[in-house]
């Protein structure tokens, strides 16, 4: 069968909308920031990749789910922890949660049961905000709203946005090139070349490899360890936050974008889309539920999302965002 097509919500007439089996339909939206991704990528990189991932999932769904209607909502760019550079837009986690909770409520009231929220922004406060909003919607209204990004990293990583182990095994990729490739580097530039190549500044081929690790080393700063119990894990993540903030005050990307290609981008998207499709199929089959779709750092959500904790952690780290 051909890849199912998604219908753009805003393009539907009332007549066409009323023909949709809402119980079987899948509502898809991307909630990701508009933020700086180097001098070469569009400000909507995370949005475009989130939408590309969701669309790629459809390619790998089994036949039994290909007759469903897939409805694509316009993207939501209310996101937190964006790169502190002019051009990025910054929102509090509470804003993200409120918007998604309102959306989930109105979708549930209209009889929709499945809502997939896509994203390609690795800020923990952002994807945890999506998870928290989804949990509230599911508890109150009995539907299945999930964070597709959180589900993906729960399957493929140890709770970080680092996909080195998965993507490093792809043909044509040197795993060493993925070390520190966290923002606007090889992976994201390749995916954007595959999705919207005409929006990429061709000078990406001249950009040198830079990473937060090498920058920290040059500054004489030791990176925090990645292991430990929950309290120390949280402290280490906050230190990583602070280091990342300092880094992105000076730099706008991390990685090696010069090695990117549209061909690699297609392989990255296929790999991630196939993994995500397996998990989405389990959701649609009912073999897992929304409660099984949280990221590994879900247990730390209070520390990341509580407004008082956010203020205290920002004060402790001297965290003052110039664009907030």
Instruction: Report domain extents, the chain.
Output: 6-316
Note the pLDDT of residue 229. Answer: 53
Q: Please compute the mean of the pLDDT values over residues 271-294 and round it to a whole number.
A: 96
pLDDT-derived band at 165, boundaries 50, 70, 90:
confident
Question: What are the strands of the beta sheet with 70-72, ordered from one edge?
Answer: 6-8, 70-72, 26-30, 114-118, 144-147
Quickly list H helices, the chain.
14-18, 45-59, 93-109, 124-141, 148-156, 164-167, 186-196, 212-219, 230-250, 262-285, 301-305, 307-316
pLDDT-derived band at 107, boundaries 50, 70, 90:
very high
CATH architecture, range 6-316:
3-Layer(aba) Sandwich (3.40)
Give the pairing type, strands 70-72 and 26-30: parallel
- Of residues 156 and 31, the one with the higher pLDDT is 31
Tell me: pLDDT of 62 over 60: yes
147 touches 123 (CB < 8 A): no
What's the rounded Cα separation, in Å, for the pair 238 and 169? 30
Ramachandran category for residue 201: left, alpha or beta (phi over 0 → left; psi -120 to 50 → alpha): beta
CA 69 vs CA 6, 104, 149: distances in Å: 7, 18, 21
Q: Who contacts 162 (Cβ-Cβ below 8 Å, separation ≥6)?
A: 182
- Read off the pTM: 0.92
Note the pLDDT of residue 209. Answer: 95
Q: Please compute the mean of the pLDDT values over residues 316-323 and round it to a whole number.
A: 75
Q: Please compute the mean of the pLDDT values over residues 78-101 and round it to a whole number.
A: 96
**CA nearest 215: which of 164, 184, 251?**
251
pLDDT-derived band at 315, boundaries 50, 70, 90:
confident
pLDDT-derived band at 324, boundaries 50, 70, 90:
confident
Tell me: pLDDT of 228 over 90: no
**What is the CA 319 to chain-centroid distance, rounded?**
23
Note the pLDDT of residue 238. Answer: 66
147 touches 134 (CB < 8 A): yes
């Amino acid at each position: 069968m051909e890849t199912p097509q998604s219908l753009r919500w805003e393009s539907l007439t009332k007549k066409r909308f009323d023909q949709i089996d809402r119980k079987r339909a899948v509502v898809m939206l991307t909630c990701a920031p508009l933020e700086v991704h180097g001098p070469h990528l569009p400000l909507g990189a995370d949005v475009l990749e989130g939408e590309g991932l969701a669309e790629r999932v459809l390619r790998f769904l089994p036949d039994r789910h290909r007759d469903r209607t897939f409805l694509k909502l316009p993207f939501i760019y209310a996101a937190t922890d964006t790169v502190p550079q002019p051009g990025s837009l910054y929102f509090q986690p509470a804003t993200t949660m409120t918007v998604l909770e309102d959306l989930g409520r109105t979708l549930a009231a209209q009889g929709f049961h499945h809502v997939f929220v896509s994203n390609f922004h690795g800020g923990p406060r952002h994807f945890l905000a999506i998870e928290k909003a989804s949990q509230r919607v599911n508890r109150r209204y009995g539907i299945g709203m999930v964070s597709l990004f959180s589900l993906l990293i729960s399957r493929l990583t140890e709770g970080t946005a680092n996909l080195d182990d998965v993507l490093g095994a792809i043909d044509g990729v040197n795993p060493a090139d993925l070390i520190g490739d966290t923002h606007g580097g090889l992976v994201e530039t390749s995916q954007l070349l595959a999705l919207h190549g005409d929006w990429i500044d061709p000078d990406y081929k001249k950009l040198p490899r830079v990473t937060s690790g090498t920058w920290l080393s040059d500054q004489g700063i030791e990176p925090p360890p990645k292991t430990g119990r929950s309290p120390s894990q949280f402290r280490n993540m906050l230190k990583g936050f602070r280091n990342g903030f300092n880094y992105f005050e000076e730099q706008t990307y991390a990685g090696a974008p010069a090695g990117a290609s549209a061909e690699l981008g297609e392989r990255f998207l296929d790999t991630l889309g196939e993994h995500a499709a397996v998990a989405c199929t389990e959701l649609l089959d009912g073999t897992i539920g929304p409660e099984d779709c949280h990221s590994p750092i879900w247990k730390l959500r209070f520390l990341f999302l509580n407004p008082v904790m956010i203020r205290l952690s920002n004060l402790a780290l001297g965290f003052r965002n110039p664009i907030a």
